[in-house]
């Protein structure tokens, strides 16, 4: 179907996203005498490529998305979408639907052997619009993003357009694109490679990812069942029904469940995907939790391996790598798609600023350094979780089992149990775009941190949310106190959005999270990360911080904290 048919069908009622097939449509570019030039070409229409394209188009940068396939994600794949990702999608105007459709959960149970060793209640701190995370099949997230893309005149999506060649010079990139009707060429100022873990663009540039490969295999399957199970995440270490290995059970939308069985390195990836091999494993799991009689169907299934690795540099001239093409992690902690969406939003405002001539092209170097730093953090967390879940030495297993054995009666040991540390926004410490603090501050809103949400009054007086009050595509100057206490900020209205929050009862939580006093000011980048803050600002100092955040002044290279 065509994009507008998809939008109409989706509007009309429940649409089976797994059956949607988008049409290849011939474009005039394919018949042009010379390659047509585009400011930005995004390669790959997964969550990362779509988020980047929407962000750019909303910033009025025309963007072309090339996708080799013509369907949404096959199978549920990434299912955990973290709070920060939902906040990014809020900025893009499409998170409400995801949260409505997705499954919010807060109770987790951890088992060791036959015994439940503890349960945890992941009650997130209150006073945030979005939950810690939701579970939702990737095809819904992609479908909702495609719907949003369809409303934006500056986005063009071309299905069955596979990039098969790439060359770049100092002033542009030339792409060779294969379609059902032959190949054509296109030129681009910049190309975003969002083409996944087996990135063809990475290969075309002769680049590699480096890191640690784990010799283990996992079976992942979507299970629909009629059992009335509580909405809980259950994680088993070495249960009797799957001896010596780990098992995860997690709820998704539409009464679907995700099961994940560790199989070991010697498992046969083709045979284990067969439904007749999966069925007894699921049955054994259901038997053990008292649902032996439940009817279930097996949907998409896959046997995966993983590596924790990344490219050395995410910026390769005019080609920018984002998401799985740039870095890989284990699934434990949901750091794949979630970090990819953070890549996309980091890149979007920088590309837009460079293309508009507001920032020099060297600003794009900071995309690389900031997101390489973030990837290292994600890889570190994901490697640790993997080492805990699948100990690779005798002593590692000894300690793992000791931690689990202690965790039932000794609360401290629970903080060592690692079945995945959930993705949160990376604090971009030491970023060259941030101005170091000159004044004393307490709390978490350090330069480089993603702005925390809190209740905030809307212009009509009702209570909404701080992050929603920010201008979605500009720099924001967040100033606390009365206008009289920050009259200097009025001179900046043309250069940034000035948002004032009174220090009253309605904003007590915001004041606390930002350690605010009368006159306290935060400069937030378009991706909502803090780049500078002051107890008492002035227009000149704020302008200097803005210049720095846009890379207009030389800054020391990014030093990891």
Could you list the residues that contact other proteins (CB under 8 A)? 381, 384, 387-388, 393-396, 398-399, 402-403, 405-406, 408-412, 414-416, 418, 421
Provide, rounded to whole angstroms, the least separation between the CB of residue 513 and other proteins. Answer: 23
- Between CA 503 and CA 506 the distance in angstroms is 8
Q: Which is nearer to other proteins, 408 or 500 (CB)?
A: 408
Provide, rounded to whole angstroms, the least separation between the CB of residue 211 and other proteins. Answer: 16
CB-based contact 473:523 (threshold 8 Å): no
Contacts of 320 (CB under 8 A, 6+ apart): 190, 191, 192, 193, 314, 347, 351, 364, 367, 368
C-alpha distance from residue 129 to each of 122, 442, 455, 464 (Å): 16, 23, 8, 9
Provide, rounded to whole angstroms, the least separation between the CB of residue 560 and other proteins. Answer: 15
Provide, rounded to whole angstroms, the least separation between the CB of residue 338 and other proteins. Answer: 18
Provide, rounded to whole angstroms, the least separation between the CB of residue 283 and other proteins. Answer: 32
Q: Which is nearer to other proteins, 408 or 543 (CB)?
A: 408
C-alpha distance from residue 33 to each of 28, 185, 435 (Å): 10, 10, 49
Q: Which is nearer to other proteins, 6 or 214 (CB)?
A: 214
CB-based contact 558:548 (threshold 8 Å): no
Q: Which is nearer to other proteins, 64 or 110 (CB)?
A: 110
Q: Which is nearer to other proteins, 105 or 388 (CB)?
A: 388
Q: Which is nearer to other proteins, 237 or 349 (CB)?
A: 237
Tokens found for residue 364: 């794009």
363-389 helix and 337-355 helix, angle to the nearest 10 degrees? 180
Q: Where are the alpha helices (DSSP H) in 105-255?
A: 138-150, 200-204
Provide, rounded to whole angstroms, the least separation between the CB of residue 383 and other proteins. Answer: 9
Q: Which is nearer to other proteins, 174 or 421 (CB)?
A: 421
The pair phi, psi for residue 108, each rounded to 5°, is -125, 145
Provide, rounded to whole angstroms, the least separation between the CB of residue 404 and other proteins. Answer: 9
For 523, what's the count of Cα atoms within 13 Å in the CB-facing half-sphere? 30
- Between CA 226 and CA 246 the distance in angstroms is 24
């Amino acid at each position: 179907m065509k994009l507008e048919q998809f939008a109409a069908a989706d509007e009309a009622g429940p649409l089976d996203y797994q059956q949607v097939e988008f049409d290849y449509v011939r474009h005039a570019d394919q018949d042009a005498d010379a390659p047509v030039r585009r400011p930005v070409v995004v390669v790959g229409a997964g969550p990362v490529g779509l988020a980047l394209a929407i962000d750019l188009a909303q910033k009025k940068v025309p963007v072309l998305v090339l996708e080799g396939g013509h369907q949404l994600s096959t199978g549920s794949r990434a299912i955990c979408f973290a709070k920060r990702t939902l906040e990014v999608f809020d900025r893009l105007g499409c998170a409400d639907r995801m949260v409505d459709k997705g499954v919010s959960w807060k109770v987790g149970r951890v088992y060791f052997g036959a015994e439940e060793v503890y349960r945890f209640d992941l009650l997130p701190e209150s006073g945030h619009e979005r939950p810690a995370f939701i579970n939702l099949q990737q095809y819904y997230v992609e479908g909702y993003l495609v719907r949003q893309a369809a409303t934006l005149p500056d986005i063009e999506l071309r299905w069955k357009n596979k990039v098969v060649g790439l060359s770049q010079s100092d002033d542009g990139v030339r792409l060779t694109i294969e379609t059902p009707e032959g190949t054509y060429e296109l030129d681009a100022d910049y190309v975003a490679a969002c083409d996944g873990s087996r990135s063809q663009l990475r290969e075309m540039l002769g680049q590699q990812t480096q890191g640690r490969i784990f010799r283990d295999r996992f079976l992942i399957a979507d299970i629909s069942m009629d059992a009335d199970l509580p909405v809980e995440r259950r994680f088993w270490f070495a249960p009797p029904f799957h001896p010596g290995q780990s098992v995860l059970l997690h709820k998704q939308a539409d009464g679907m469940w995700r099961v994940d069985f560790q199989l070991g390195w010697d498992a046969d990836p083709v045979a284990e995907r067969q439904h007749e091999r999966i069925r007894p494993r699921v049955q054994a799991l259901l038997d053990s939790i008292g649902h032996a009689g439940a009817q279930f169907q097996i949907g998409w299934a896959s046997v995966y391996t993983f590596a924790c690795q990344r490219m050395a540099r995410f910026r390769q001239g005019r080609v920018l790598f984002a998401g799985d093409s740039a870095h890989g992690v284990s699934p434990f902690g949901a750091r794949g798609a979630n970090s990819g969406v953070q890549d996309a939003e980091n890149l979007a405002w920088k590309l837009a600023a460079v293309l508009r001539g507001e920032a020099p092209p060297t600003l794009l170097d900071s995309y690389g350094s900031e997101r390489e730093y973030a990837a290292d953090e994600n890889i570190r967390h994901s490697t640790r979780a993997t080492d805990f879940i699948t100990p690779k030495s005798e002593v590692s297993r000894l300690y793992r089992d000791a931690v689990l054995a202690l965790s039932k009666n000794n609360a401290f040991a629970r903080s060592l149990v690692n079945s995945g540390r959930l993705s949160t926004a990376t604090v971009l410490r030491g970023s060259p775009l941030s101005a170091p603090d000159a004044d004393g501050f307490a709390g978490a809103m350090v330069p480089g941190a993603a702005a925390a949400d809190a209740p905030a009054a809307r212009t009509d007086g009702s209570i909404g949310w701080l992050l929603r009050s920010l201008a979605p595509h500009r720099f924001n100057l967040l100033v606390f106190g009365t206008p009289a206490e920050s009259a200097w900020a009025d001179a900046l209205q043309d250069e940034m959005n000035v948002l004032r929050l009174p220090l009253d009862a309605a904003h007590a939580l915001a004041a606390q999270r930002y350690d605010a006093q009368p006159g306290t000011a935060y400069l937030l980048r378009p991706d909502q990360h803090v780049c500078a803050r002051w107890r008492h600002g002035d227009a000149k100092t704020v302008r200097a911080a803005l210049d720095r955040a846009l890379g207009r002044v030389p800054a020391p290279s990014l030093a990891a904290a």
